Amino acid sequence: MNVQTETIHLLAPQQELVPYLSVRGRSLALAAPLSEEDCAAQSMPDASPIKWHLAHTTWFFETFILERFESNFQPHHPAFRVLFNSYYNGVGDKHARAQRGLLTRPPFDEVLAYRRDVDARVIALLSQPLPPQLLTEIRGLLELGLQHEQQHQELMMTDVLHLFSRNPLKPAYADILYSLAEAPPALEWIPFASGVVQVGYEGTGFCFDNELPRHRQFVEAYELASRLVTNREYLAFVEAGGYENPALWLSEGWDWVQAQQIQHPLYWQHDRGWHTFSLQGMRPLDLNAALTHISYFEADAYARWSGARLPTEAEWEHAAQTTAELSQLFGTCWQWTSSSYAAYPGYEAAAGALGEYNGKFMANQYVLRGSSCVTPDGHARISYRNFFPSSARWQFTGIRLARQA
C-alpha cells in the first residue's frame, strides 16, 4: 500500500449526499407557494427577500467550499460575491442590507440556476478523491453550510410572514402549519437544586462555535415553568393595562413601548375580537396556543407582572438536560432568557471570515433557547443558542417563566 492509495478516498457515496440534497431541496420547497414578486420584496431591513435567502445560502457553499477547494475555481457570477454576502467583512464588500429588495436582477430564474450550478459543483467536488485532512475539513464546512441553510429556512418563514403582514390584502402563505391548540395543562413549577452545572455542547455531532467550550456554571436553586405562557395568559396582562404601566418595564423597554406605540404582540389585531396574523393569514386568536412574536422587553414585563422572571440560559439548559417534566422545549417557539449573548469562557472563534459567523454579535442581544414551529426538524439542540436584539419580534418568540426556589 502506497501513500498515493492511502490519500485517495471517495468522499461522497450516494448516501452521504442525502442530507445535502434534502436540505437544499427544502429551501426550494419553502419558496414554492410564493410568486416571484413575493420572493423579491423586503419588508424591513431586518428581513431579507426569499430570493436573497436562496442566493445567499448558495453563496455560502460557493465562498467557503468551492472557492477554497475547487481546482481552477471561477465564480458563478463575479458580482454575486458582493451581492449575496450577508455580513462577512473578511470576504470583502457587501451590498447594503436595507436595499436587498431592490435586486430585481438577477431574476429569480437566474438564482435557481445559481443554486443548480453550485450544487453540481459541490457534488462533483465531493465525488473526487481527496486527502483525509481535506476530507475532514470539507465535511465540516458542508455541515456548517447545511446548518446555515436551515437557519435561513426559519428566516424565510418569519420574513415572508412579516412581508405579508404589511400587505392590506393579508395573504396567507399556506394552510398547513397551524391547527387549533388543545387546552394546555395547568402550569407547574419544576424545582432545580443549586450547584455547579455543565453548560455547552457535549458530544460528537455538529454544534456552533458559540456552544463551546462546555464549562461549569453555578446556579442558585430555581424553578422553571412546565410549559410556555399562553395567549390567554398574556391577554390578561394586556387587559390589565400591562402596556400602560411603566413600573413593569425596563427603562429602555418603556421608551420603546412609547416611541413605537406598542400595545400588544406584533401580529395581534383587535377588530371585533382579537385576531392574529399568521402564515395561514388572519385568524381569531387561539387563546390556548402559546404566545409568540413578543420582544425581550415584553417577555420581561410580563414575567415581572406575573411575579416571576425569565430564566438564565444556564437554568434553561440544565433543566432541559435533567428532567422530562418540561413541555414545549422545542418546536413551539423560542424562549427568551435573561442572559445577554456572550462568549463562554475560553470561546474561540474560527479563523478567517467564518469567525464572523457568531462571535461578532455578542453584544446587546439576548439568548433564546429551544426552537420554534418553523425550525427545521433536526436542527435544534439543548445547547443551541439563538439570539436577537431586545426589541425583535418577528421571530417565533415566547416565554417560559422562572423563579427563585
Residues near a second copy, by CB under 8 A: 35-41, 43, 51, 79, 82-83, 87, 89-90, 95, 99, 101-108, 163-164, 166-169, 171, 194, 196, 215-220, 222, 246-247, 249-254, 296-297, 300, 309, 338-340, 342-343, 345-346, 355-356, 360-364, 390, 404
User: At closest approach, how far in Å is the CB of 16 from a second copy?
Assistant: 34
Mapping DSSP onto H, E and C, the string for 128-149 reads CECCHHHHHHHHHHHHHHHHHH
Residue (139 or 283) nearer to a second copy, CB: 283
Q: How buried is residue 3: exposed, middle or buried, by Cβ count under 10 Å (0-12/13-18/19+)?
A: exposed
User: At closest approach, how far in Å is the CB of 372 from a second copy?
Assistant: 23
Residue (106 or 265) nearer to a second copy, CB: 106
Residue (50 or 142) nearer to a second copy, CB: 50
Residue (330 or 394) nearer to a second copy, CB: 394
What stretches of 41-130 show up as alpha helix (H) in DSSP? 50-61, 67-69, 80-83, 108-126
CA triple 171-176-182, angle to 5 deg? 110
SS3 state at 209:
helix
CA dist 353 and 365 (Å) reads: 21
CA dist 267 and 257 (Å) reads: 15
User: At closest approach, how far in Å is the CB of 9 from a second copy?
Assistant: 34
User: At closest approach, how far in Å is the CB of 201 from a second copy?
Assistant: 16
User: At closest approach, how far in Å is the CB of 292 from a second copy?
Assistant: 21
Residue (303 or 320) nearer to a second copy, CB: 303
CA dist 293 and 334 (Å) reads: 10
CA dist 309 and 404 (Å) reads: 9
Residue (18 or 105) nearer to a second copy, CB: 105
User: At closest approach, how far in Å is the CB of 162 from a second copy?
Assistant: 10
H or E element: which one contains 283?
Answer: strand 281-284
